[in-house]
Amino acid sequence: MRKRDGANMNELILGIVGVVLGGLITWAVAHFYYKRAGDELRTEAAELRKLGSMTLTAMEYQGLTKLNRDSNGKIVGFVFEHVGTGGMKFGGSAKVESVSAKLSSDPASTDSA
């Protein structure tokens, strides 16, 4: 009987070791994946911030907006100022003509409508 009890204990230890190793492998793969995804997200966010800043600066140079900046020159807000007038004028005409044709099965017929 004691030999079987030892075999059960070995199976239990191997099962626990397998679960722990499986958990460590899963954690390592997930950590690598989420670390890489987080780095890509940070890079993309930095690029978008730069493009947004460039767009607002271009709008400021064109006189479309006034940028509020902090002491370091970083954009912290903007005021959109646009005053203008405009108008629309529509016009047009149309001429409809009636077109008719006389069909003849006689090729010698030269009737004109």
**And the tokens for 89?**
């004028």
Per DSSP, the three-state class of 54 is helix
**C-alpha count within 13 angstroms, C-beta hemisphere, residue 1:** 0
For 18-50, the pLDDT digits (tens) are: 999 999 999 999 999 999 999 999 999 999 999
**And the tokens for 23?**
């958990």
**Strands in 1-113 per DSSP E:** 65-69, 75-80
**And the tokens for 64?**
């479309």
Mean pLDDT, 10 residues at a time, the chain of 113 residues: 69 93 96 95 94 90 87 84 71 67 58 52
Domain boundaries, the chain: 2-80
Separation between Cα atoms, residue 106 and residue 102, nearest integer Å: 11
Percent of the chain with pLDDT over 90: 37
pLDDT value, residue 64? 83
Q: Is the pTM of this model over 0.75?
A: no
58-67 burial string, b = 16+ CB within 10 Å, else e?
Answer: eeeeeeebee
